[in-house]
Structure 1
């Protein structure tokens, strides 16, 4: 039984690296000498001969709303146009008024005051979140929205990056060891003098699609009984991974997109965080790894209340997704028609000149290094053109997809620099 559990954890870690469960990563191999066959392979794509053709069609010139175009010189005018079009492409649903927040429990742990809270959106079950801050803090503190990852694990949400002092699920202990070098990074940044909120993202944990809420014929024979059992969690996550294309298609049919929905929900979380009496609404930041990095791209790119952003392990180009890596990524990533107007890093670039840090892993399985560096160059060009080169930084760390302690320390220092000083 213990060996089975360890094997599952190992498999879950690999599935997490691919974000959307159900896809395996290619093995790393020596490319060998340069030959005609190798050259042919270099021209191959994950959609065969259609990849290079489609990329040529898409990238024959700069995207129409790229700030890198010579036709754009005024940042404010460009942002007005580009933001309006991006919001239109996302199909962001209207959430209405800020909901009433219910505090379910408060307690202290390792110098922090923790609040377990929830709120009811116009649809779905209540959203659960954890708020953390120094227990002896007074006055208004800067606030951070800490975004949990995807990890191929829809069963968990805010528990992925926090510790509460209560019994930690063994899968979350392993999860934090695998991605965060054993750290609950939301706790660690709160200790530095922040009010940190970690809310469950759309389709995760409290916001996940419950089996009992779909027709029995679509449950693959599963039930919600004994939900905390690792075997039940594995079965649910496999089902949820396979269900992603169903959700994405239904969202398209409803006139919205997956990024549009999770952005709307994250903006509501930001509304709630900013309205707290212990938070300085003029000093707000956000960040996260992987799926949390994707949420950072959308939130920081489209909401100027985010004064400082840290995107970890989610930066590349549409070309990289198109030719090489779309199969490693969740349906949460894609926005129809937007690549014609903005390359992927340019969504985050919509926040220029606000401070932005991008942290990359050089052996990240989810991207190719050349395209990560091309995305970096695009963001550098945007910030340079806007006269704000000092407010953008990208760093590269050895190793696979992760947010380890050295990366965390750089992220924390970046937030300190721009939200405290």
Structure 2
């Protein structure tokens, strides 16, 4: 890359002060630790600056309140729709009444609660909103809600003259929502949507205050809020946002940013404890919003997830604000001895604080006791069909809609506003001013006339990164040069290095991995990497947004290095890094000359994640914005992602650079509707051989097949639509595999509708069964089972999917498309053989699947499914042909791969069938321990929570065709048992 004497001299001169440091190996773990410490210190200083200024804080408090609402996904605040409260049961005691209650904070967002009403007390009475912490109360698979675990608090308040409304949370309530989206479920789109369950809990609390104020028994001017642990955090949100709260006691619910980021406390907390911290607040900013109202901060001194030093840090900084208001008497601190536990001493502190500030009483409180069994406090005996509580994360924070623009002026205004919103809401916490990084030469070699350099530079303080350079040793330093900056997840190895070699002497190839990738990786397992990502979000950044910064820094450095030369700069990237490169170019003052983006995700719902980005725009709009200055070449799936760009091109006065796909300019070439992908499957595998695709006719003959290239994604009776795994083109087939249409999905759907009308096909109804085959198999392996089930009256859809070309998760996404297509069917059962069972499990983890399962899915049967991994996959994993043959999914089947362990367990009745040689044998396969079917051990097929289990002597390959398995499946779909009553089982 750098061969001219002048440039070499310049680089060496710049590097001299750092030569000793450059020789040291980079410790990325230590650098990351220093980075988080530095960022936390900056946030602490900014927080103190806001809080210590008397006049400024008072003037800005309402602005801060609005910012908190936005970070909780409550800006704009949802509509206050009718609560529709319903009492479903009552318990009468001598001094109080308990009502089992439900209301809707928003339509379908049900809140289950217990209302404790005192008797023989003056009215209206003070009221306490009690928000519960993480208490799991389940019996026989029924969740009674965390309100059951905290009932003694409500009892005490009612016995002492308070109305107390105790509400369940969306997780661990009677409804089973999610608090662990980024914590353990990989739902990073929560950050992109600006969603946190903390926002829902805050909204439910605000609506609970609405309900309390509607009661004649309640004094609307004397309402307090409290809760412990998770409930302590929700108490902060509610008290900070809603000034109707006159006294608050958050118990063990807050600590400092330093505790979370530097001292690892974040690893003990789920997502409900945090706002989407796009303002980069330390936690005293939240507690200060309660000022000047009554606030007691209380905790135990040995709480490992809310350490005492952090709690006191919050207290002292909050005290500054109470002093600004002259309200020091309204702030208290109570520390009791003990661990993170709901101790009696904490309760007494809480009770006495409310007595003092809501009843003006200083009587000594007595500890509380539980009185009721969980069943007595249950609200719903059957959950309502219209509930969205369990899936509220899918809808609580709306995504930005693509704008409808009609003039060039509107487009220009949209582009300007969008850039500003990205700067202030998604990328606000980049360094204030870019540093001028320098290259430090770590290594230089020349092999086969190719010079390879390894360079180091700092993207920002405490972020050391490396960049590799490949260039011809014969390059003329005075001639124009083309530099291609490849943004990759992993540096090239010996096998793929040739892909990055320059094609001519005047081309330079640079290979760059942003932070946390390739040689810049941090140590630790997937769980550790997950919590690193969560730390970025809590300091107002995201890991992906900082990778965008790294790419910008690399681009600036390349331009700086070649500032005196005629250079064309191209950025090439794939997948998530392609989108990171897209935004880097979009946010740069000096964009690159061309973007080459491959296999891009079409939405930030799949990645990458920037805070709040989906509240601003999505990837289709980002492509159009980048095309204002830079030509773009797209390689891979582009269906739909360019619709917005095409609409803009039709507007008079709008001029955008071309976006090309497959070497075609989309502004002048129609979609490739005429391509029949069937012929691609039989094309030469030689990488350099030309491929000619001709347009075929829809003849009354079978297709060329290609079961490992096509996914079934849509069914209607005997017709199905398949999608090619590589090109994404679709084809419409009947049950004889005769093709009726090809091209875009919409064209296939339209043709299917035409057939439905012509043949007068009736709508579907009744019960359906979807059959999913194992790896390397096809739907035809289910032929005997399909025929038998159809004779039993079921509609049966044996689905093909390219098991060796896609992952288990991708196959689950295609299963969702099939389920969506079965319009009119009342119940859908799922049957999977081997990996097909894992695909079914993966489906239960998709967004929205819980609601679908509750309404539509009947039963699940797994046959020979390696629910804990397949030992044979472990064995063959050592041999390269295994990976060529089995693909990514094959690797996921290994026992050491974490994919299977993370798959959810079906939430509907499910049974497991296993092939087994017999209890007294070592199985069919001597290479794996225990009884087995030749491929999967019986132990691996077992899954916690299964409704029934059935095994019999049979090899893995024949399980789905065995008459015993077919009979057992039919029995299970009818009765949830593999054997009918009085039938002798054949289990071994």
The two structures share one fold, judged by TM-score above 0.5: yes
SS in 1 for 2:91: strand
Q: Which of 110, 118, 122 pairs up with 2:106?
A: 122
1:329 Cα shift?
Answer: 0.6
Distance in 2 (alpha carbons) for counterparts of 1:125 and 1:260:
13
> 2:38 corresponds to which residue?
56
> 1:317 corresponds to which residue?
256
Q: Which of 293, 312, 326 pairs up with 1:354?
A: 293
SS in 2 for 1:94: coil
1:133 Cα shift?
Answer: 1.9
1:49 Cα shift?
Answer: 4.2
Q: 1:299 to 1:119 in 2, by over 3 A?
A: same
CA deviation string 1:325-365 (max 9, x = no partner): 1101111122233462x311320210100000011111002
Tell me if the contact between 2:52 and 2:320 (Cα under 8 Å) persists in the aligned partners: no
> 1:396 corresponds to which residue?
335
SS in 1 for 2:89: strand
Tell me if the contact between 2:73 and 2:199 (Cα under 8 Å) persists in the aligned partners: yes
Q: 1:242 to 1:257 in 2, by over 3 A?
A: closer
Are 1:77 and 2:59 an aligned pair? yes
Tell me if the contact between 1:318 and 1:339 (Cα under 8 Å) persists in the aligned partners: no
SS in 1 for 2:166: strand
TM-score, normalised relative to structure 2: 0.31
Q: How does 1:262-301 map to 2 (within 5 A)?
A: 262-301=201-240
Q: Which of 331, 344, 350 pairs up with 1:405?
A: 344
Are 1:113 and 2:53 an aligned pair? no
Distance in 1 (alpha carbons) for counterparts of 2:182 and 2:317:
34
Q: Which of 193, 212, 232 pairs up with 2:161?
A: 193
Does 1 or 2 have the higher relative contact order (CA < 8 Å, sep 6+)? Answer: 1
Distance in 1 (alpha carbons) for counterparts of 2:52 and 2:348:
38
SS in 1 for 2:112: strand
Report which of the two structures shows the higher radius of gyration computed on alpha carbons. Answer: 2
Q: 1:117 to 1:270 in 2, by over 3 A?
A: same
Q: 1:85 to 1:126 in 2, by over 3 A?
A: closer
Distance in 2 (alpha carbons) for counterparts of 1:391 and 1:111:
31
> 1:168 corresponds to which residue?
none
Q: How does 1:14-413 map to 2 (within 5 A)?
A: 49-60=31-42, 62=44, 64=46, 68-69=50-51, 71-73=53-55, 75-92=57-74, 94-109=78-93, 111-122=95-106, 124=108, 126-151=110-135, 155=143, 156-162=145-151, 184-209=152-177, 245-246=184-185, 249-324=188-263, 325-338=265-278, 340=280, 342-413=281-352
Tell me if the contact between 2:228 and 2:250 (Cα under 8 Å) persists in the aligned partners: yes
Q: 1:339 to 1:254 in 2, by over 3 A?
A: closer
Q: 1:247 to 1:118 in 2, by over 3 A?
A: farther
Report the structure, 1 or 2, having the larger helix content. 1
Q: 1:199 to 1:61 in 2, by over 3 A?
A: closer
Tell me if the contact between 1:345 and 1:375 (Cα under 8 Å) persists in the aligned partners: yes
SS in 1 for 2:259: helix
> 1:414 corresponds to which residue?
353
CA deviation string 1:148-191 (max 9, x = no partner): 111467943211111xxxxxxxxxxxxxxxxxxxxx12211221
Distance in 1 (alpha carbons) for counterparts of 2:226 and 2:160:
15
CA deviation string 1:98-145 (max 9, x = no partner): 311111122213521111111134354632110002122342111100
Deviation >6 Å, runs of 4+: none
Distance in 2 (alpha carbons) for counterparts of 1:352 and 1:399:
28
1:83 Cα shift?
Answer: 0.9
Q: 1:384 to 1:271 in 2, by over 3 A?
A: same
Gaps of 5+ in 1: 1-46, 163-183, 211-239
Gaps of 5+ in 2: 1-28, 361-988
SS in 1 for 2:148: helix
> 2:523 corresponds to which residue?
none
Across the aligned residues of Structure 1 and Structure 2, the Cα RMSD in angstroms comes to 2.6
Q: 1:347 to 1:152 in 2, by over 3 A?
A: farther
1:206 Cα shift?
Answer: 2.4
